[in-house]
Amino acid sequence: MPSLRTGRGSADVTAALASRDASVTARSYALLDAAGALGAIFAAGR
């Protein structure tokens, strides 16, 4: 399974969500990017 990284390439999803200093915007983008990547993986598995 490919690693999930933000589309912006700045930080991986886990680090963006775990960081106490991450803004709400950064966390939101990380979640959206992860959801998009997981959706693509699940769609390819159909």
Buried b (16+ CB within 10 A) or exposed e, 13-39: beebeeeeebeeebeebbeebbeebee
pLDDT score, position 34:
85
pLDDT score, position 6:
45
pLDDT score, position 12:
66
What angle is formed at CA 4 by the lines to CA 29 and CA 6, rounded to 5 degrees?
30
41 sits in which H/E element: helix 24-44
- pLDDT tens per residue across span 1-46: 345 554 555 456 677 677 777 788 888 888 888 888 888 888 988 7
